[in-house]
Structure 1
Amino acid sequence: MSLLPEEIFYYQFGNQPQVREPKGRRKTYLCYKLKLLDETLDQGYFKNKKKSHAEICFIDKICSLDLDQTQRYKIICYVTWSPCAHCAEKLVAFIDDHPYLSLQVFTSRLYVHWLWVNQRGLRRLWKSNIPVLAMTEPEFTDCWKNFVDNQERPFQPWEKLKQYSDKVKRRLQKILKINTIDLFSEQSSEEIRDLNNLVDAVRNLNLDAHLPHY
């Protein structure tokens, strides 16, 4: 597996709302780990292409693997930008078609989160048991260790990493609470309560138990 250069990781995965260095617009990178029990079976990363987003490349990759459908696999993804509305729908369809897979997404930043269509995409993911959570220092560290050409150097957190991560958490929480109100017209109170319980449960997971048992 090729590894991300150190400078690419820090620039692309940095959760700062703005960057001062003139390195161009930050792009979507997606790092994934496919696990069976405690064993990592496959891992790698993708970045956006002109005609194919990183999420679509990831889906194509997993679909190309000869997985035993009698087993239960877990996938952890680290992304620089949360999925856009189109990719969110593709991920939902992918997991619906592959019930032996469970997927959890950690994002460094939220992609155009003020647009209703992207908020709806994030809510669709949660509703389909695909939690999207903010990357915190443990997730950045794990990503650094597994996907970066780090030359055995430890991860060095940048200034205000925690504050930026907390801001993303609060924004996600607000988006999901908005969803709770919207769902009253089409879901029962029991279904809404289940969604809120899922949000709370996943938020309390530690790095060693990233994925809930659905």
Structure 2
Amino acid sequence: MNPPDPECITDQLWNRGGGGVAVGKCISLKLALKYSLWLPRVESVTSDRADIRDKELGFFLDIAPIPIVILHDPQRRVSKETRRCLKKQTTDHVCRGITDGGKILQETFIDSYDPSVLRRVQYMLYKIKWSNSKRPWQSCCHSTRMEHAEIHFIEDVFQEQRSDPSVHCSITWYMSWSPCGDCCKQIRDFLKEQPNVNLIIYVARIYWHKEEINRQGLRSLMNVGVSIRVMDLPVYSYCWRTFVDDEDKYEDDYWPRHFAPWIMLYSLELQSILQNTPSCLEISTDENQTPIFSLCVEDDQQKRALTSANP
């Protein structure tokens, strides 16, 4: 089930007798919200800023760096400007860390594409090259609470840039997270409808790499001709030169050499996924919630299968 439109959520919620204002840190549902779960029957959601009760309404909650604001606020306890900004961050794919010229900010790129940390927001840098055009179209976008970046690209970006459907088109994505299983299905459907499109995907990390639906999704993309690779050092340098905002930028500002161990680990894990062998990457956290990565190879057969990864 897809999340409903945010306006629909708030209208239903408040028309059932709501008052109130914003959902901030929902303590009683902290674990559930961590995984962005649907909550089909909610008796009470209590935060430090609101108490909302509804016995039947299912709605989507998501913990994020900023509070989730109920956009419809009849008592005006949240300013109009705040509601407007928060609504924008719910639906706008280019509002965080992206310039008006379609470039990603330096600090956003460095933070979001560092494979040694697990950032929440998914960014996509993309290049579209039509065979009848000399110059490619290059820009970037990010996920929102309602939609992953891949779906935004398929349903909005590509349709806006599309020319003659008979003309061959080459698309390259540079993604901070690999597509999830559901997005993989929609990507396959998109490619089936667009036989003249060729897609290459580079990823900094693999999204929930042990979930079988995500592993199957990546294999299914490979089976329809999509090239999926982990970003290596030359790719990071290319993205830095091509997609990062030029203001005050110097080549010495960015040197991702320390990414090499994580590039190797994710490359081995991607290889295990595409070869349909058991996962070899373990990710845990220490007491400070710092990610800890380790390589776990079960037997000689898996070891032999992984030697072809050659990250």
Is 1:58 paired with 2:153? Answer: yes
Measured against aligned partners, the alpha-carbon deviations of 1:142-184 in whole angstroms (never above 9, x if no partner) come to 11112111434116223531221111111011111117xxxxx
Q: Is the 8 A contact 2:171 2:200 kept in 1?
A: yes
**Matched residue type, 2:150:** E
Match of 1:33 in 2: 127
**Matched residue type, 1:53:** H
TM-score, normalised via structure 1 length: 0.76
Instruction: Report the Cα distance in structure 1 between the residues aligned to 2:205 and 2:236, rounded to whole angstroms.
Output: 12
- Larger of the two Rg values belongs to structure: 2
Match of 2:250 in 1: 153
**Matched residue type, 2:250:** R
Instruction: Report the Cα distance in structure 2 between the residues aligned to 1:55 and 1:36, rounded to whole angstroms.
Output: 19
Measured against aligned partners, the alpha-carbon deviations of 1:124-155 in whole angstroms (never above 9, x if no partner) come to 11011112100001111111112111434116
Instruction: Report the Cα distance in structure 2 between the residues aligned to 1:134 and 1:52, rounded to whole angstroms.
Output: 23
Q: Is the 8 A contact 2:204 2:231 kept in 1?
A: yes
Instruction: Report the Cα distance in structure 2 between the residues aligned to 1:8 and 1:133, rounded to whole angstroms.
Output: 22
Q: Is the 8 A contact 1:82 1:107 kept in 2?
A: yes
Q: How does 1:122-201 map to 2 (within 5 A)?
A: 122-151=218-247, 152-154=249-251, 156-178=254-276
Instruction: Report the Cα distance in structure 2 between the residues aligned to 1:114 and 1:103, rounded to whole angstroms.
Output: 24
List gaps (5 residues or longer) in structure 1.
Answer: 20-24, 180-199, 205-214
Is 1:8 paired with 2:102? Answer: no
Percent of counterpart pairs with the same letter? 26
SS at match of 2:170: strand
Measured against aligned partners, the alpha-carbon deviations of 1:34-88 in whole angstroms (never above 9, x if no partner) come to 0135833312111111111111111121023232223211111000000001111
Instruction: Report the Cα distance in structure 2 between the residues aligned to 1:29 and 1:39, rounded to whole angstroms.
Output: 26
Instruction: Report the Cα distance in structure 1 between the residues aligned to 2:135 and 2:171, rounded to whole angstroms.
Output: 9
Match of 2:201 among 100, 105, 108: 105
**Matched residue type, 1:153:** Y
Instruction: Judging by fraction of residues, say which structure has more helix.
Output: 1
SS at match of 1:44: strand
SS at match of 2:189: helix
TM-score, normalised via structure 2 length: 0.53
- Structure 1 segments of 4 or more deviating over 6 A? none
Deviates more, 1:129-138 or 1:58-67: 58-67
**Matched residue type, 2:129:** K
Is 1:46 paired with 2:141? Answer: yes
**Matched residue type, 2:124:** L
List gaps (5 residues or longer) in structure 2.
Answer: 1-100, 278-307
Q: Is the 8 A contact 2:201 2:226 kept in 1?
A: yes
**Matched residue type, 2:244:** V
Number of residue-to-residue matches in the alignment:
176
Q: Is the 8 A contact 1:11 1:26 kept in 2?
A: no
**Matched residue type, 1:132:** I
Q: CA RMSD in A?
A: 2.1
Instruction: Report the Cα distance in structure 1 between the residues aligned to 2:201 and 2:125, rounded to whole angstroms.
Output: 10
Measured against aligned partners, the alpha-carbon deviations of 1:62-119 in whole angstroms (never above 9, x if no partner) come to 0232322232111110000000011111111111110111000000000000111110
SS at match of 1:168: helix
Greater relative CO, 1 or 2 (CA 8 Å, sep 6+): 1
Instruction: Report the Cα distance in structure 2 between the residues aligned to 1:147 and 1:130, rounded to whole angstroms.
Output: 22
